[in-house]
Structure 1
């Protein structure tokens, strides 16, 4: 077989190019520290690397969301803790005002302290994060949620929605507690109604429960209850609707038996006297702000606080205040529960990322010892081919003719 000079040159050049390509690939691997730099290096491994890299990118985004949620929930939990502590101080002052030996000036001083505490509680409820977003405004984070109207009643301008962050596949965690749930919508301690006592009350009693027990027979209305001397040594209860029509009369009222009317049951503590009366209005929830405001008004009225009606009203306010504090505690507990769950998700993500990185290392990391050894072999082979090519290239037929 005859080999032409051109064929010999092409074969040697092709061999040199092949060695140079392999050497260049090894140099790239050594420089990057990675065995697979392109899909062509190892197609199967490249697919696995791409999948693991995408998983890690998603985990990193989840971790950022968890950090955001952690930051806001920690601030929320802290503010609700401050609100709870302040509420306990308010309750102590409310109980102190019950003291019958206090003068009007002393009660006014307590009322002034309560007003300052109420302002502090409102400030907490209007807390903002580092970006100026209101923590307790629901999803209306750019709107101040709490303000008193001209009648001294608290108005909530936020909503009941919560902001969420995606912390795992298909898992969205709340990042705040809505102010309506934390401060406004505490269950009425008595049930479904609030009570107004007559200023001329003489009997020592208070309503402890007023609930709708039979919704099918309940007729919504404001009801009044009058205790009348029946002339036989007992008391009758006359029940009127909002239009002052007699709805029901209970003869020889027994204080140990609940009063029932139109699907509503009322339980009283104590014994009413003839001439006493009270009325009820539908109210299923209370606001801790309004409860404190009503207590301030009561304490500033020195003629009422020491009367049986004033004491009954104060008992109702204290029960509603306790319900409001419980609502704050529930909100704080929700924040704490979410923080605990976020810690678990963060730990799981860290474990998954560690496993992914270990798998990536197996697929992608370069064995430097083997790579350097292979590089040296390629260099030696390329030098040999180059030397041989230079020697063959100088061979001439004329060197053998003489």
Structure 2
């Protein structure tokens, strides 16, 4: 076959150009450190690399979500820890105020300090996150969830919603505890009712207190509260012993008048589906009232944090060094203990959520390392192998250029 000079030259130039392009491509790979820069370099590998990068970007977003959730939960944990500390401080104030030796002026000073603690806890309840959203407002995050009323009561205007953040495939974590739970869900140490005492002035060796008042038979409950337990002299009178009757809000008396039931400290009293245990030394004329703000028959299972603190403040404004005041003090101290334990339980749940974030963060880190290694194996350049291929390409290019130069100068005229 005869090859024209033009074809010969064109074919060699094409060969040199191809070798030069290959050398440039290899130099580009060495500069970027990537074996696959374009899909045309390796279509199969390029598709796998794209999938790995998408997974890595998703993990980065999950990590950002985890950081955001962690910041919010830490703010909540800080508030709950402060709530525990304030509860302990209030308890110490109440024990100090219960000393009969202090004056009313000193008690007023303690009351002012207690009001400061209430204000401090109110500020905590209205804590905002870094975006200005109320932490304890549920889904209602744009306004303060707790507001003080003119009578001193503090009301909640949020809801019971708990916001969530996606931190993994099909994995979510709650970002908050709503204020209704945190500041209104203190378990009632008495069970299902709150207690008021109207006791005589006679001193007692064993202070009167209601140990428990629980709805034991909801089917028998008429919920005709208040329930007033009145203590009277035995008939016939017995020294040191009293009897009682129970009157509900409808005027029903148990037992039916004029009968009475003997009182024994610690013995269970049953009325209207309610079991009541009272301990201590009662006197004729004493009265204990059971009440609840709940009217659906479930009882006052929970107490509000600010209601507990306002009750303590009211105690400081009364004359507390009498049997009624001392029984009331037992109630307040038990409620403060329940309040502190409640803050601790909620904080523990917050800690569990933060632990879940840490676990998910560790899982994402391990997955990121695995995916990055797989992506690197498909995308990154093997410098040792690439160096050898580049040398081969340059040798081939130089050989092609040298051969083309020599053959191009060959002519029969050189031998005539």
Q: TM-score under structure 2 normalisation?
A: 0.88
Q: Distance in 2 between matches of 1:197 and 1:19?
A: 102
For residue 291 of structure 1, the aligned residue among 287, 305, 308 is: 308
Aligned mate of 1:336, from 351, 362, 366:
351
**CA displacement at 1:211 relative to structure 2:** 0.5
How big is the shift at 1:242?
Answer: 1.0
Look up the SS of the partner of 1:167 in the other structure: strand
Q: Secondary structure at the match of 1:34?
A: coil
Gapped runs of 5+ residues in structure 1? none
Aligned to 1:58: 58
1:215 aligns with: 218
1:157-306 equivalent positions in 2, closer than 5 A: 157-198=157-198, 200=200, 204-222=207-225, 223-233=227-237, 235-249=242-256, 250-282=260-292, 283-302=300-319, 305-306=320-321
Deviation at 1:244, TM superposition (A): 1.9
**Residues 202-250 of structure 1: per-residue CA shift (max 9 Å, x gap):** 5741212110111121221212222232422353322222122325455
When the two chains are superposed, the root-mean-square deviation of aligned CA atoms in Å is 2.3
**3-state SS, counterpart of residue 208 of structure 2:** strand
Q: How many Å separate the matches in 2 of 1:216 and 1:13?
A: 101
Deviates more, 1:319-328 or 1:130-139: 130-139
Q: Which residue of 2 aligns with 1:28?
A: 28
Shift, 1:287, TM fit: 1.5
Q: Is the partner of 2:280 in helix, strand or coil?
A: strand
**Residue 125 of structure 2 corresponds to residue 125 of structure 1:** yes
Q: CA deviation at 1:266?
A: 0.6
Equivalent-residue separation in structure 1 for 2:305 and 2:334 (angstroms): 11
| Offset of residue 354 of structure 1 | 1.8
Task: Deviation per CA, 1:55-83: give whole Å up to 9, x if none.
Answer: 22121111111111222222221222122
- Partner residue, 2:46: 46
Cα distance, 1:128 vs. partner? 2.2
Q: How many residues align?
A: 399
Q: Secondary structure at the match of 1:166?
A: strand
Does structure 2 conserve the Cα–Cα contact (< 8 Å) formed by 1:145 and 1:179?
Answer: yes
Instruction: Give the whole-Å Cα distance in 2 for the aligned partners of 1:52 and 1:366.
Output: 17
Partner Cα separation in structure 1 for residue 152 and residue 189 of structure 2: 22
Q: 1:340 to 1:207 in 2, by over 3 A?
A: same
Whether contact under 8 Å (1:189, 1:323) holds in the other structure is: yes
Deviations 1:254-274 (A, max 9, x none): 333211011101110113222
Which moved further from structure 2: 17-26 or 312-321?
A: 17-26
SS of alignment partner, residue 172 of structure 2: strand
Structure 2: distance between partners of 1:308 and 1:294? 17
1:310 to 311, 325, 340: 325
Provide Cα deviations, 1:144-194, integer angstroms capped at 9, x if missing partner.
122221222221122222222222211111223322222221011100111
TM-score (norm 1): 0.91
Contact 2:87 2:339 in 1 (8 A): no
Contact 1:237 1:251 in 2 (8 A): yes
Q: Report the secondary structure of 1:216's partner residue.
A: helix
Match of 1:381 among 382, 396, 406: 396
Give 1:133 deviation, angstroms: 2.3
Q: 1:185 to 1:158 in 2, by over 3 A?
A: same
